[in-house]
Amino acid sequence: MNSTLQVGVTGGIGSGKSLVCKIFSALGIPVYNADKRARWLMNHDKTLQDQVRSAFGTNSYRPDGTIDRNYLAEKVFKDPIELNKLNALVHPAVGKDYKTWTAEKEEYSYLIKEAALMFESGSHQALDFVINVSAPVEVRIQRVLDRDAFRTRREIEAIIDKQLPGEERIKRADFVIKNDDHDMVLPQVLQLHQRFLKHKKSAST
């Protein structure tokens, strides 16, 4: 495992984990977005593509070779067994990709891995610390409604129901950043940034 400190950032839909990761990135810390990389791998990793086609049919991909996300969503969203089947293919591919990514970043004091399903996938076990970005459910729903015009309230609530409850995330996380529109996010991130820099410095002495 890479000796560089590895920190996870997670949170439910609309919690603001991407905002937190943008701040870490602005501080010069590399951020690996597991969800974006999963989409990239499904479009570019031939082994994963073959596995998805085998599990869900040739219609999983369009004639131009790109993943048909609507088709796959229809297949897996309402069926936990099918969703678990897809995750069992995608999560290991992302894990392998992340390991390659970290191997190229050893000069940094610490790294950030952003993922929505960090606890659910078990990927938190390979990290040194996990930060949960927290916000009340109603605030999260309104943020997603404002951000994603194509989503309905019912769809957002269905996604939240499938994700780990906020209270459970807080219990499992090492640190919590409140993004509830009352507490300022920047000072919380800066405090953790300094803590991780000190941790790296003390670990290397």
Longest Cα–Cα distance in the chain: 55
Its pTM stands at: 0.90
CATH architecture group of domain 1-30+110-197 = 3-Layer(aba) Sandwich (3.40)
Question: pLDDT truncated to tens, each residue of the chain (205 aa)?
Answer: 457 999 999 999 999 999 999 999 999 999 999 999 999 999 999 999 999 999 999 999 999 989 999 899 888 877 889 989 999 999 999 999 999 999 999 999 999 999 998 998 889 999 999 999 999 999 999 999 999 988 999 999 988 988 899 999 999 999 999 999 889 999 999 999 999 998 866 666 5
Domain ranges in the chain? 1-30+110-197, 35-104
The CA-atom distances, in angstroms, between 156 and each of 23, 78, 136, 139, 149 are: 25, 14, 14, 12, 12
DSSP assignment, residue 180?
S
